[in-house]
Amino acid sequence: MGISTSWNSLSFVNKLFFATMLRHARTDHEAQESAVKASGLDWTIVRPSGLVNTPGTGVYLVGENIRAKTSKIPRADVADLMLNTLAEGSLLRQAVTITN
């Protein structure tokens, strides 16, 4: 989350954190997304809010340029979205945020 077009969905505090403490990681993620989008392949980019090791809830929001309700999302919920996306063939050529 906070990469490319999802940058505008971040709060001022998160933008400050990403621009200073995570500057190099953000640059790497921007390059990764550009490479994926330019690949010519079918792709889906999933941008989670902060990953946590708690049980999945099965309840989450997904969309382009949505604001995170919280700064945490269980890894199991991200996996659920990714598996469902693969099975359904949905979200092709989209970069989406997932949050709960």
Number of domains within the chain: 1
Contacts of 38 (CB under 8 A, 6+ apart): none
**So what's the pLDDT on residue 6?**
63
pTM recorded for the entire structure: 0.76
* Distance, CA of 76 to CA of 33 (rounded, Å): 22
- For every one of its 100 residues, what pLDDT tens digit does the chain have, with 9 covering 90 and above? 656 566 566 667 666 766 776 667 777 778 888 899 999 999 999 988 889 999 999 999 998 878 766 678 999 999 999 999 999 988 999 999 898 8
Instruction: For residue 30, list its beta bridge partners.
Output: none
Question: 């933008």: which residue's tokens?
Answer: 15
Q: What are phi and psi of 84, to 5 degrees?
A: -65, -40
Give the domain extent around 46: 4-99
**So what's the pLDDT on residue 17?**
64
* Distance, CA of 3 to CA of 72 (rounded, Å): 16
**So what's the pLDDT on residue 31?**
85
**Residue 3, exposed/middle/buried by CB under 10 A (0-12, 13-18, 19+)?**
buried
**So what's the pLDDT on residue 53?**
96
Residues 100, 69: contact at Cβ < 8 Å?
A: yes
CATH of the domain at 23: 3.40.50.720
